[in-house]
Every structure is written in C-alpha cells, then in structure tokens.
A and B are shown apart, each in its own frame.
Chain A
Amino acid sequence: MWNFSDISNKIDQWLHETFNPTLALIFEMLIAGICVISLFALLGLVLVLMERKVSAWMQIRLGPNRVGPKGAFQSLADTVKLLVKEGLTPGGADKLLFNLAPFIAMIVAMLLMAPIAFAKNFQLWDLNIGVLYLSAVSSISVISILMAGWASNNKYSLMGAMRSGAQIVSYELSAGLSVLAIVVLTGSLSINDIILSQADGWWIFKGHIPALISFVIFIIAVTAETNRAPFDLAEAESELTAGFHTEYSGMKFALFFLAEYVNVFIVCALGATLFFGGWMPLHIGNWQGFNHVMDYIPSSLWFFGKTFFLIFVIMWFRWTFPRLRIDQLLNLEWKYLLPISMFNLLLVTLIAIMGWHF
C-alpha cells in the first residue's frame, strides 16, 4: 500500500543521491512550497464548492448544478472569472498597505500549514512547540484584516476591521485555553507527540467530559477566529456590505476569500489533531483485532476525513445560526466561554494529575 511518507522518503533519497546536500535541501523546500500552494488552490476550489452545496441543501435549494457534472466545475469557472477581473485600487486608498494586505493574509495561512501532520510521518516541520506556533501565527491574520480595513479609506471597511480586531483578540483567549486542555493531558506542545499520545484512543473519548467541553469551546472560538457566520461581523454582508474587503476586487479579493477557506481548513485540521487524533486511526484501548483492522485505512484518509467532518460542522453552524450583535459577541466570550474554559482547564489539570483519564 502506498502512503505519503514512502513517497516523500523516496524523493528525499533520490535528491540526496543526485545532488549535494545543500542543493537537495533547496529542492526539497521548493517541492514543499509548490505542494502547499497547489494544496491551497485545491482546497479553495473544493471548499467553495462544498460550502455552496452544503448551504443550498440546508436551505432546501439545489445549489450550483449547471457547470460540469452536477456543478462540479462551478468554483473553477469562478476562479477563472476572478483571475481575469481588474484588481482595482481605489484613488483614496493607501496603495502599499492596500495591496500588501491580501498577501499577508495568504502568507499567514501558508505559515500555518507548516506544523500540520497530514499523514503518518508526513509533516513539513515537526517543531516541539507546534501548538504554540499555530496559535501565535494565526493571530497575525488580524493584522492583515486591520491593514485592509484601514488602507481602504472606507468607513465600512474600517468598521469591519475594528470589529474583527476586537473579535479575534478576545476569541484567541478561549481558543488558547481549550487547546491548553489537550496540552495538559498530553504533556507536550508538539503536534506529533499529541497525535502519538492518542494511539489508544482519541482525547475526545479519553478525556471524559472536560475534553468534550473544551472541544465545543474550541469549535466556537475558531469559528469566531476565522470570521465565519454566526461571527462574521467583520464582513456582515447585510450591514457593512463586505466589511474589510469592500474595496477589493478581482484576484486580491480572491486571495482574501482563499485565505478564509484555508484558515478554516487549518483550524479544523488542528481540531482534528487535538481532539480526534489527527491521522491516528480509531483505536479503542487494547482491542488488538479492532485496532489492526482500522490500521488498514490509510492515515491520510483518516486525517482528511476528520478535518472535512469538522469543516462540515462549521459550515453547518454558518447556515443555521443568525449573526450575533457585537455586544452579544463579546458577552459570549467574556461572560461565558472564558469562565467556562478556565474552570474546564482546572478540571482537566485535576484529571491529568490524578491520572483519571484512560
């Protein structure tokens, strides 16, 4: 059976045999970069189509069904349209910041790809503070949004950007605390260690109710962090037209759009890694036979299955719940999520110290 780690090892071997180590490293970096960019493009296409179909079915509609078989090429056609559109920079805008903002949003999304483990032994960068890195880098995205809002020289944009700033800064807290719950249980910040610690069961099952609570808080907080409905105050189509990207058009708009979807993918991948064991197949304690059968399903399939399930859940939120008001949004974070997640963290620590988890 083929898997990603074999392929990457073979490429690595071949490069080291053919070139000297420095050149091989440069080539490997290039290949990794190209892989990440093509994954981005693919994710953008797939997730946009998925969102449109999911939203249509949830609203008793059909969704795109004209371009290609069952509308499969709809997002491809949209991409071509966005590529050929003019990328207008408004006259009153700060030209440098305005054009820089979408790229920063994109670069942040790219940086976040680094520590994600896509399959068994298939990870760009296994650094020992992977979780910390993810939560630290993901908060840079607020800079790109603020930059876009400020540079647009537009009231809607600025209001959207300010709301987004307040939102991301406050939800970062409870997202961090809910991630900490798993870090406490595992005792490590490395993504790889966290996955390996779930070899006898995923944390959502092993960690009792506190893990479940922290998962719920995590999924709420990341929905807010990625600026998706019901927390899409930064865009708020019905009141701010499009929020921070009101003035953007063509490919610059597409980059923001793509960054949003890639961010959704990354936070869902993180959620899948922390609570559902990443690429780890469904293992139950010491049931050797069952675990062995589960191992036959490739690890990459497990990872992408879990991630797409979580993405589906986030889309489910988006197409079910109405948008919150800004004061309700901040109430939810500071009066509910934060106290609950702090209390939950205490509970998890108690469980970890007493060894009550499985």
Chain B
Amino acid sequence: MAFLKFRVRNLELMFITKYIKEIFGAVGSLLKGMRRTGYYFTHHKEIITQQYPDNRTTLNLPERFKGEVVMPHDEHNEHACTGCTACELACPNGTIKIVTKFDVMPDGKKKKAIDKFVYHLELCTMCNLCIVACPTDAIKMAQTFEHSVFDRNKLTKVLNNPGSKIREGIE
C-alpha cells in the first residue's frame, strides 16, 4: 500500500513538473518568435518589397522567380531539344505541344526532330515541371514577366527559332 501511495505522489509530481515545464517552454518559444519579428521591425534593410513601376530599371528579382518558358539557342542558331515530348507529358494542363518532323540525314537515314515547339503562355502556371522533366536541359524559365497583350493569340508562342536545328551530339 505504501508503495502505491508513493507511486501516486510521484505521478502527481510528474504532472506538476510537466505543467510548469510546458508553461516555460511555451513562453520561451513565443519570445523566440517575437525576437524574430522584432528583428525585422528594427532592421528595415531586410524589406523585400519591390516598388515595381518605379524601379523598373533596377528591379531586383529573386533567383527562383519564374516568368515564362524559353528555349535558349546558341550562336549557330542551335538548340538542345530532341523532341522527346517529355515536357509535353509532364505538363499538367497542356501548355506545351510539340510538332515533330523527320530530317533526312546525309547518309539517307531519317531522324526525328522538332518542327515547332508550341508554348501556350496563357495556360502556363509556371510550375516548373517541364524544366525538371527535360533530359537535355533544352528549356528553362526566364524572368521576364510583363506579358500583357491585347490579343490572346499573341500568347501562343513557338519557342524554337525559325531555321534552327538540334545541336551536334545531343541524342
């Protein structure tokens, strides 16, 4: 019996210590949060707001800001797109449509290549899945964001330049 009483008292003690510990823990974590906001309140250089139309020339965009999908071309008007349609399959809302053609190689063989890389900017949600899916890093996200036009047909873009072809050595 005496042992049982001791157990009960011990449990009560544990409850009280837990209760008090909880209070101090709560106050401590709340103060931690307040220290963070207090730091931001006093350090105005941390402010990330861009006063956009005013600072158009000196705009400071974050690294991961995504504006539209582009296909980089090098100086020989060559891109890295093989037309594998991985991006088209990855796109959740049908933004990308790849039209392929067959190039005739010098040795007479036919090779699949892109004719048109059609990109519907008006459907794009900038989710970045196409860029992740691309095996040859042919497309990337650009930081341009002033996309407003008066005719929505202008938002349907062909990303590969006219007359461009795939870079040598990319399969």
Q: Do A316 and B37 have beta carbons less than 8 Å apart?
A: yes
Query: If A321-B30, A321-B33 touch, does A57 touch B23 (CB 8 Å cutoff)?
Result: no
Q: Is there an interface contact between A340 and B40, defined as CB atoms closer than 8 Å?
A: no
Most chain A beta-carbon contacts within 10 A, residue among B36, B37, B46:
B37
B21 CB to closest chain A CB (Å) equals 13
Rounded to whole Å, the gap between the CB of B48 and the closest CB of chain A is 5
Roughly how many angstroms separate A62 CA and B44 CA in the complex, as a whole number? 9
Interface of B is mostly: helix
B49 within 8 A of partner (CB)? yes
Per the bound structure, the CA–CA distance linking A62 and B51 in Å amounts to: 9
A320 & B33 in contact (Cβ 8 Å cutoff): yes
Total contacting residues, chain A, CB less than 8 A = 14
Contact B47 A320 (CB under 8 A): no
Q: Is the CB–CB distance between B41 and A61 below 8 Å?
A: no
Interface residues on B, range: 10 to 19
Number of CB contacts from chain A to chain B under 8 A: 36
- Measured in the bound complex, the distance between the Cα atoms of B23 and A321 in whole Å is 16
Does B34 lie within 8 Å of A316, measured CB to CB?
yes
- The answer to whether B23 touches A336, judged by C-beta atoms less than 8 angstroms apart, is yes
Docked complex: B34-56 residues within 8 A CB-CB of A: 34, 36-38, 40-41, 44, 46-49, 51
Q: Which residue of B lies closest to A58 (CB)?
A: B37
A57, A316, A320 — most chain B CB neighbours (10 Å): A320
- Which residues of B pack against A, CB within 8 Å? 23, 30, 33-34, 36-38, 40-41, 44, 46-49, 51
Q: A residues within 8 Å of B by Cβ?
A: 54, 57-62, 316-317, 319-321, 336, 340
**Pairs A-B, 5 closest by C-beta atoms:** A58-B37, A320-B37, A62-B49, A57-B41, A320-B33
- Can you list 19 A-B contacts with CB-CB less than 8 angstroms, sorted by A residue number? A57-B41, A57-B47, A58-B37, A58-B38, A58-B40, A60-B49, A61-B48, A62-B49, A62-B51, A316-B37, A316-B38, A317-B34, A320-B33, A320-B34, A320-B36, A320-B37, A321-B30, A336-B23, A340-B23
Other contacts beyond A58-B37, A317-B34: 17, CB < 8 A: A54-B41, A57-B40, A57-B47, A58-B41, A59-B40, A60-B40, A60-B48, A61-B48, A61-B49, A62-B49, A62-B51, A319-B37, A320-B30, A320-B33, A320-B36, A320-B37, A321-B33
